[in-house]
Amino acid sequence: MSERKPVVLVTGASGFVGRHVAPALASEGWSVRRAVRSPEGIGNEVIIESIGPDTNWQAALEGVDAVVHLAARVHHKREEHAAELYRNVNIAGTLRLARSASKAGARQFIFVSTVLVHGRSNEGRAPFCEDDILTPRGIYGMSKVEAEAGLRVLASDGDMKISAIRPPLVYGAGAKGNFALLTRAVNLGLPLPFAAIRNQRAFLAVQNLTSFILHRLAHPDRASNFEVFLVADREQVSTPEFIERLARASGKRPRLFRMSPALLSTLLGVIGGRDMHDSLLGSLELNVSKAIATGWQPRVSLDEGLRLALSAQDI
């Protein structure tokens, strides 16, 4: 008679991170139940058309031992007019799922938050750490702060172990956003005006995020029901060095030139707003000693993570 496999529900399983996490969980002996918006014919699927304060999770959570909550509202073209959408999905939806999971008897809940709960830059300050006073900017970051606060309260009233992970930019095969834009620019051989930038930024290979999630599921805290972690690659590098490493992984020659930081700052502010400006020019350093103290180590280096990211455009 075979031993029962532990069951994990993965929300956002069809997204960029989910497409890495779900198979990794399966390879570690978990029975993975994928929460998706529409059928994909991949493994054990449960259809959850929308996540919000009234979502019925009963069928999805039946017999579940753990939940990995990746799904979130991340970007909206008119963010300032989408406050209710962020509240419904990222706050009320997350807490509805967590309460339902606790009621269903799940032992662990992994919540992927964001480093943006700390703000977009730590320029002139020490690296961010988990105990900092949170200073989120933007509706997305604020929604994650409120979700974390609600999970902390829930953890204090129950037995389910909750881990909140705050990653920086996550890169890998299938990543979108700034990583996809930089990759396209490097592959096209476009000259990029970042040679004079002297910032320092944390990045996170999707393989390293995945390995930390697996580590937390395998090694839950005994003393605490709620823990927060900053997680990043071993190396934290400047924007021009990241582009140089990306070009090397692509087999391309980086085409970087110097532009006055003041002029570049103005141009990026006009083209992409404060978010693009801070993401490319600001510093974002993280103290990841708490994650390392759990016994976890990043599985891949920055160079290896970039090579894996470029080995396929999608997975």
The catalytic site residues sit at: 140
**What residues does 237 pair with on adjacent strands?**
201
Note the residue count of the chain: 315
Torsion (CA) 278, 283, 284, 289 in degrees, nearest 10: 180
Alpha-carbon 279 to chain mean position: 15
Tell me which residue of 200, 246, 208 sits closest to 230, measured CA to CA.
208
Strands in 108-112's sheet, in edge-to-edge order, are 44-47, 31-36, 7-11, 66-69, 108-112, 161-166, 226-230
Torsion (CA) 36, 208, 221, 118 in degrees, nearest 10: -90
Identify the DSSP state of 163. E
How far apart are the C-alpha atoms of 156 and 137, rounded to whole Å? 27
Tell me which residue of 131, 115, 109, 70 sits closest to 225, measured CA to CA.
109
Q: What residues contact 270, with CB distance under 8 A and at least 6 apart? A: none
**What residues does 47 pair with on adjacent strands?**
36
Identify the DSSP state of 42. S
- The packing angle between helices 139-156 and 94-104, to 10°, is 20
DSSP H helical segments within the chain, as ranges? 18-27, 83-86, 94-104, 139-156, 177-188, 206-218, 239-250, 261-281, 289-293, 302-310
